[in-house]
Amino acid sequence: MNVSSECISVVVQGVFSKDKHNGGEHCLDSIRKFLPYAEIVVSTWEYVDTSWIDADIIVKLKEPSAFYDFDNKINNVCRLILSSRSGIEAATRQYILKFRPDLFLISETFCVIGRNFEKCSNNYRIFKEKITTTNLFLPNAIYDPTLFHVPDIVQFGLRDDMLNFWDIKLPQHEDIYNNSRNHAILGNFSGSSNLRMLPEQVITTSWLLKNGFNVKLKHINQSNCCLLKCWEGILITNFNILDWKSCGIIFPNRFFETAYGSRSFYLQKDINNINDAINHKRYVMRYIYHYVNKYILCWFKRGYIFSVFLILLSRFQILQPLKRGLGLWRRNLKKLL
């Protein structure tokens, strides 16, 4: 059932600029068009110029520091948590649509209530009502062993439930990174990074720990039968998953320009399969499929082969010299052009 826009606060979190297509103006226009009576809450940083922004509430925050891994890749999970939580806290309506400045609404389709708990086990239930999200960047754990990965791009649900999810402590460096690179080859789809968990995994596991689930991951692709069943049980019990292609939202093209954008995501038929198996002994068959894909059929997947390639380069200390060589080649090429 769709919720009236009069009951909705749209929390738009992130960096805003006057770029019409990517900075927020088009985003806010689309919200006004399809959710005309919604409260708009902008949650951003102190240095952002908000004088041009047409919003009901503007929250300006001191930006927390980012983290960096061994390859100097930035991790903004603290900024994501703080801006989302602060925006939800400032909102005054019963329902929250968490949004980003680079997204555009093309209908009100996404603002639906997920109340179908009849097939779900109370052992996994946390929310009063299901939070709606999309399957974009929701890895299908049977083919991609990345568990406890709730998509954070866009969400819709009761304010109390959304606050339950986002009101978590800001992680420390040691919560996100290991002290050494992961050079394991078998079952490692993430290369040679020292990253312990992806930002989505950090948020999801922190939320679960707060709600009594003792879920701690040592690396991104850690899995076993108990973890898989726990993750999929929590997913189908607490989240209403819509197909990103028909959810009424336009996503940035850059989301699909990376290897991660082409990974296997949960489809409705996969959710139905989990529903049918979660409370039965035959669930072990799902883990067998997961295991076979993780350790055997992975050798036929380009993403996994590329991950192994990066691990071998790192293990034999070739990766950094190769990166430096490529960087020098690019600089010289620019001078020639």
The answer to whether the CB of 277 falls within 8 A of the CB of 284 is: no
State the DSSP H helix or E strand holding residue 318, giving kind and residue range, or none if neither: none
Q: Tell me the pLDDT tens digit for each residue of 296-327.
A: 999 998 888 988 888 888 877 765 666 566 55
Q: Tell me the pLDDT tens digit for each residue of 273-297.
A: 898 888 788 899 999 999 999 999 9
CATH of the domain at 160: 3.90.550
- How far apart are the C-alpha atoms of 116 and 127, rounded to whole Å? 12
- How far apart are the C-alpha atoms of 99 and 115, rounded to whole Å? 21
In a domain, 237, yes or no: yes
- How far apart are the C-alpha atoms of 61 and 238, rounded to whole Å? 30
In a domain, 334, yes or no: no
Average pLDDT on 190-205 reads 93
Helices 199-210 and 77-90 pack at an angle, to 10 degrees, of: 50
Q: Tell me the pLDDT tens digit for each residue of 235-245.
A: 999 999 999 99
One-letter amino acid of 139: P
In a domain, 184, yes or no: no
What is the average pLDDT score of the chain?
A: 89
- How far apart are the C-alpha atoms of 15 and 23, rounded to whole Å? 8
- How far apart are the C-alpha atoms of 87 and 13, rounded to whole Å? 7
User: What is the total count of domains within the chain?
Assistant: 1
In a domain, 332, yes or no: no
In a domain, 264, yes or no: yes
Helices 302-315 and 319-336 pack at an angle, to 10 degrees, of: 100
Q: What is the pTM of this model?
A: 0.90
Q: Tell me the pLDDT tens digit for each residue of 101-156.
A: 999 999 999 998 876 665 666 789 999 999 999 999 999 999 999 999 999 999 99
pLDDT at residue 174, rounded to an integer: 92
In a domain, 320, yes or no: no
The answer to whether the CB of 153 falls within 8 A of the CB of 136 is: yes
Q: What is the token pair recorded at 185?
A: 């080859």
- How far apart are the C-alpha atoms of 42 and 83, rounded to whole Å? 9
Q: Which residue has the higher pLDDT, 58 or 275?
A: 58
In a domain, 187, yes or no: no
pLDDT at residue 325, rounded to an integer: 60
DSSP one-letter code for 58: E
Task: Name the residue range of residue 129's domain.
Answer: 5-171+200-299
Average pLDDT on 263-269 reads 85
In a domain, 97, yes or no: yes
Give burial (CB, 10 Å; 0-12/13-18/19+) of 291: middle
